[in-house]
Structure 1
Amino acid sequence: MSGSEKFKIFSFQGKMKILHLSWFAFFITFVVWFNFAPLLQSVKESLGLTTAEIKTLLILNVAFTIPARVLVGMLTDKYGPRLVYSLLLAVCSIPCFVFALSDNFVQAAIARFALGLIGAGFVIGIRLVSEWFPHNELGTAEGIYGGWGNFGSAAAAFTLPTVAVIFGGENGWRYAMAITGFMSLFFSVVFYRNVTDTPKGATYYKPKKAGAMEVTSKGDFYLLLVMKVPMYAALALLAWKLSPTGIGMFTDSTVTIIYLLLAAIYLFDASQVWKVNKHVFEKPVPELHQYKFKQVAVLNVLYFATFGSELAVVSMLPLFFAETFELTPVIAGMVASAYAFMNLMSRPGGGWLSDKFGRKPTLLILTAGLAVGYFVMGLVDSAWPVWLAVIAAMGCSFFVQSGEGAVFAAVPLIKRRMTGQIAGMTGAYGNVGAVTYLTILSLVEYSTFFYIIAGTAVIGFITLLFMEEPSGQIAEVNDDGSITMIDVAKA
């Protein structure tokens, strides 16, 4: 089995080859997803867009990712990571090219909304890596996958403006974006030809029923319905931001239609949950096949606070440093980038700590640090030395990104055949958090914004007390009816 091989980070054989191909696929999705931000000014001037229209494009860029992560998680569990990741990279090159060729706001808006789909790539690799690494290495492997892949956004910020300058002229940004599309298309072929869903001889377990996440008790059925509500609420919040009350892209009647549509989709979603899980009301699920959905719910809340706050803070930190310390935009951007750079080591570090000291203890410590870190950020003002504010931001970033690594060190240990769906829902909660925090930021001062994030981290800490440390084994049924027991912790 692949799990018996040593963890050699510079190897490109066996499970390590899969890890490197996976994180690079994720890296490319983030380059494509965030190729807009560093070229924003060029796009604005080239297409003659208003500031309100630019803000709309930024919102549309993350809107579709919330439902997409859930949907892609289901597709991954059913069809396997190799096929789904390859298709995602290929399909999403299309809206990337469309955006590069856009002549007006409407074309750009449609392309940017569609590109939100590529943000769902993250959940595919979570399932793939979990198939190749044993439980005692899983946190480290998932942390490397998430941390190194996440760095794609920083790589886009550093390289794409230079690429645009090299091609020159007002169309330089178009060439830069088109190149990221070609990268995505090319790597879809590389990925498909070099990856398998599982090590040779291993079984890829699939959900028994498609259409909704399986639960194994009546209480979990109701908890699942409750945990779906914030995802729809976040989409409704985005619609509100596009209404006349917000930036005025949609009319009141259009927003009302969106609200009604979201309500109808939720009801359909709930009916699918009932269709897949109505058997739990007829007879109990055998204890061997049960899992506790509260584990998923806790991780959702924690990812809301960690990745949700990261997405929000990364987008506002340059402006925060510029306004607080009267720095130039370039200097402020460089200073703020220290927060994103922490991803390279912090997220793998959080996964490694989880492997070493346990999932729940690690999450408790990191979540407490997260609360303290954001509380300290709330204290930063112009009286602070800039270097001390940077250290505070980097310290906070360590707990944020280590916490993300620790969350996804636990996700694959809940129920193997549903890892894609669980990762999809937890990942979606990160985007829900980003939408929530960015909306709050538009209404309050910077210090209050940081204090609110610290408060949600405290809520996450309290929620975490209800989580159970993964232990023993989980059971999966083979095609022939036999049962395989999968280790999730040391015996």
Structure 2
Amino acid sequence: MSAEKFKLFSFNGKMKIMHLSWMAFFITFVVWFNAAPLVSVIADSLGLTTAQIKTLLILNVALTIPARIIIGMVTDKYGPRITYSALLAICSIPCFMFAVADSFEQLALARFLIGFIGAGFVIGIRMVSEWFPAKELGTAEGIYGGWGNFGSAAAAFTLPAVALAFGGPDGWRYAIGITGLMSLLFAFVYYFNVTDTPKGSTYFKPKKGGGLEVTSKNDLVLLIIMKVPMYATLALLGWKLSPAGVSMFTQDVTNLIYAGLVFVFLIDFYQTYQVNKHLFSVDVPEFERYEFKQVAVLNVLYFTTFGSELAVVSMLPLFFAETFALGMAQAGMVASSYAFMNLMSRPGGGWLSDKFGRKTTLLILTAGLAIGYLSVAQIDSSWSLPLAVVVVMACSFFVQGGEGAVFAAVPLIKRRLTGQIAGMTGAYGNVGAVFFLTVYSMVSTQTFFYVIAVSAVFGFITLFFMNEPKGHIAEVNEDGEVTLISVS
């Protein structure tokens, strides 16, 4: 693409939308990860135990899985402008609650609710897809995802300094409170400066609410199967909070959570059937069909890519500290090289997708990801630290490039369902994180990296069932008019 078509720092039209959207995403990740770099200070301030700290970290991701599904539906129905603005404003409330909390119970409730803001990523995927043509979409989504995702690293670097600047045992409260204020203020900035589509374009909405539309009976079965791991992961989180885990809940409460998850799954199953029951009586016109297997493959790939990133970012400082006898501060700085790669890796994955095709790029990056984690598994104290850092950074390029390539493909499946598809794929990233961190708690570090590599190999195999998006997506507006949207 020419420089005239994609001026990175232009603040007009589509570039204004892209920049404001990654800023919104950036703020959601600052808020979502604002406690992690301050956890030791918070623990000292309120006298928290190690078990309580672990509980807060678990609660931080618990709500994000269902939140991404819900936010995807809301985005498709009401548009990204209203949805993003509302999410930023509403989620500032639990952020302020966390800042003024005086007990573990108050912290736990606030942390659980803050997890909802982790769904913000999904909204921008739909927004960017509305403003950019298919030939630029991978790069645009990559910049949105990479620069926004950097919010977690920014929080790690800046919030301890902010807390220190305010001084005293309550400095952390001001640091957390400032992130909530950022979220609240930017909600208004976003609302008054964006539109859902360029002037004259149609915003296509789902024909029915309450569940993801599919276009064949086989796809309906596959959709229900793909929902099971998400509920299983929520059950796993419930187990971690049970007496067998960190003992936040009694066994009776844990059993109630399990029963609730079964009930919600049955409701979800019923809603999904209601949205798609017409498949048993009429055929969907050929021009309106899409293959859900495309979504399933992308779910598996994001499970490995973003799931492994969240898990590795959590354990990498300790890995470097133990392997190379570093202090935790030094180990944290070295480990941050993994997250820093987001700034160029994720846009790079999107750009490669635009240039060489979605499927080809995913095949190359997924193979590189598997080799990367196999290499990281070989790191031990006999290695030089610079070499270990280089291998980790190389691995992270394929991980985050793969994330960019996944979301270069997501918006090209079915325009009016982009939010829901992005929500499900994004949720699988969190499912992967919980799975890999659970594995990490049970096996050696080397085995942990091997497990991720095996999941990448599985993802590579599933890619052979994916078709390269090409041609047009057919959408029908509220007046029944058919529009063909180019995806190549």
TM-score (norm 1): 0.98
Letter in 1 for 2:230: M
Q: Give 2:258's aligned residue.
A: 259
Mapping 1:61-210, distance limit 5 Å: 61-210=60-209
Q: Partners of 2:200 and 2:223 in 1: how far apart?
A: 34
Letter in 2 for 1:308: G
Q: Partners of 2:96 and 2:21 in 1: how far apart?
A: 23
Q: Once the 2 structures are TM-superposed, how far is the Cα of residue 5 of structure 1 from its aligned partner?
A: 7.1
Structure 1, residues 61-96: CA drift from partner, whole Å, max 9, x if none? 001000000000000000000000000000000000
Letter in 1 for 2:19: H
Moved more, 248-257 or 57-66: 248-257
Q: Once the 2 structures are TM-superposed, how far is the Cα of residue 4 of structure 1 from its aligned partner?
A: 12
Letter in 2 for 1:325: F
Q: Tell me, what secondary structure is at the counterpart of 1:245?
A: coil
Letter in 1 for 2:253: T
Q: Tell me, what secondary structure is at the counterpart of 2:484?
A: strand
> Does residue 1:274 correspond to 2:273, yes or no?
yes
Q: Once the 2 structures are TM-superposed, how far is the Cα of residue 47 of structure 1 from its aligned partner?
A: 1.1
Displaced runs of 4 or more, over 4 A: none
Q: Partners of 1:339 and 1:478 in 2: how far apart?
A: 44
Q: Once the 2 structures are TM-superposed, how far is the Cα of residue 243 of structure 1 from its aligned partner?
A: 1.2
Moved more, 249-258 or 345-354: 249-258
Q: Give 1:331's aligned residue.
A: 330
Q: Partners of 1:233 and 1:190 in 2: how far apart?
A: 38
Q: Give 1:412's aligned residue.
A: 411
Q: Partners of 1:315 and 1:438 in 2: how far apart?
A: 8
Q: Give 1:60's aligned residue.
A: 59
Structure 1, residues 200-257: CA drift from partner, whole Å, max 9, x if none? 0000000000000000000000000000000000000001111111111111121111
Q: Partners of 2:349 and 2:487 in 1: how far apart?
A: 17
Q: Partners of 2:60 and 2:224 in 1: how far apart?
A: 27
Q: Tell me, what secondary structure is at the counterpart of 2:474?
A: strand
Q: Once the 2 structures are TM-superposed, how far is the Cα of residue 117 of structure 1 from its aligned partner?
A: 0.5
Structure 1, residues 326-358: CA drift from partner, whole Å, max 9, x if none? 101111001000000000000000000000000
Q: Give 1:16's aligned residue.
A: 15
Q: Partners of 1:271 and 1:191 in 2: how far apart?
A: 36
Q: Partners of 2:396 and 2:274 in 1: how far apart?
A: 42
Q: Partners of 2:481 and 2:76 in 1: how far apart?
A: 20
Q: Partners of 1:128 and 1:377 in 2: how far apart?
A: 36
Q: Partners of 1:100 and 1:393 in 2: how far apart?
A: 35
Q: Partners of 1:484 and 1:245 in 2: how far apart?
A: 54
Q: Tell me, what secondary structure is at the counterpart of 1:177?
A: helix
Q: Once the 2 structures are TM-superposed, how far is the Cα of residue 479 of structure 1 from its aligned partner?
A: 2.1
Mapping 1:452-463, distance limit 5 Å: 452-463=451-462
Structure 1, residues 166-191: CA drift from partner, whole Å, max 9, x if none? 10000000000000000000000000
Q: Partners of 1:102 and 1:421 in 2: how far apart?
A: 34
Aligned length: 487
Q: CA RMSD in A?
A: 1.0
Q: Partners of 2:89 and 2:285 in 1: how far apart?
A: 42
Q: Tell me, what secondary structure is at the counterpart of 2:473?
A: strand
Q: Give 1:211's aligned residue.
A: 210
Q: Partners of 1:74 and 1:478 in 2: how far apart?
A: 18
Q: Tell me, what secondary structure is at the counterpart of 1:35?
A: coil
Q: Partners of 2:75 and 2:475 in 1: how far apart?
A: 17
Q: Give 1:244's aligned residue.
A: 243
Structure 1, residues 20-58: CA drift from partner, whole Å, max 9, x if none? 000000000000000001101111011111000000000
Q: Partners of 1:27 and 1:263 in 2: how far apart?
A: 34
Q: Partners of 2:185 and 2:175 in 1: how far apart?
A: 16
> Does residue 1:221 correspond to 2:220, yes or no?
yes
Q: Tell me, what secondary structure is at the counterpart of 2:318?
A: helix
Letter in 2 for 1:95: P
Letter in 2 for 1:279: H
Mapping 1:417-456, distance limit 5 Å: 417-456=416-455
Q: Partners of 2:378 and 2:256 in 1: how far apart?
A: 42
Q: Partners of 2:154 and 2:420 in 1: how far apart?
A: 29
Q: Partners of 1:383 and 1:242 in 2: how far apart?
A: 38
Q: Tell me, what secondary structure is at the counterpart of 2:192?
A: helix
Q: Tell me, what secondary structure is at the counterpart of 2:204?
A: coil
Q: Give 1:359's aligned residue.
A: 358
Q: Tell me, what secondary structure is at the counterpart of 2:374?
A: helix
Mapping 1:266-415, distance limit 5 Å: 266-415=265-414
Letter in 1 for 2:330: I
Q: Partners of 1:416 and 1:425 in 2: how far apart?
A: 15
Q: Tell me, what secondary structure is at the counterpart of 2:377?
A: helix
Q: Partners of 2:305 and 2:285 in 1: how far apart?
A: 35
- In structure 1, stretches of 5+ residues that fail to align are none
Structure 1, residues 419-439: CA drift from partner, whole Å, max 9, x if none? 000000000000000000000
Structure 1, residues 108-149: CA drift from partner, whole Å, max 9, x if none? 000000000000000000000000000000000000000000
Letter in 2 for 1:165: L
Q: Tell me, what secondary structure is at the counterpart of 2:381?
A: coil
> Does residue 1:25 correspond to 2:24, yes or no?
yes
Q: Give 1:487's aligned residue.
A: 486
Q: Partners of 1:275 and 1:470 in 2: how far apart?
A: 28
Q: Once the 2 structures are TM-superposed, how far is the Cα of residue 285 of structure 1 from its aligned partner?
A: 0.6
Letter in 1 for 2:301: L
Structure 1, residues 285-320: CA drift from partner, whole Å, max 9, x if none? 110100000000000000000000000000000000
Q: Partners of 2:237 and 2:485 in 1: how far apart?
A: 41
Q: Partners of 2:159 and 2:35 in 1: how far apart?
A: 9
Letter in 2 for 1:335: V
Letter in 2 for 1:216: T
- In structure 2, stretches of 5+ residues that fail to align are none
Q: Partners of 1:368 and 1:461 in 2: how far apart?
A: 7
Letter in 1 for 2:397: F
Q: Partners of 2:418 and 2:394 in 1: how far apart?
A: 31
Q: Tell me, what secondary structure is at the counterpart of 1:382?
A: coil
Letter in 2 for 1:292: E
Q: Give 2:473's aligned residue.
A: 474
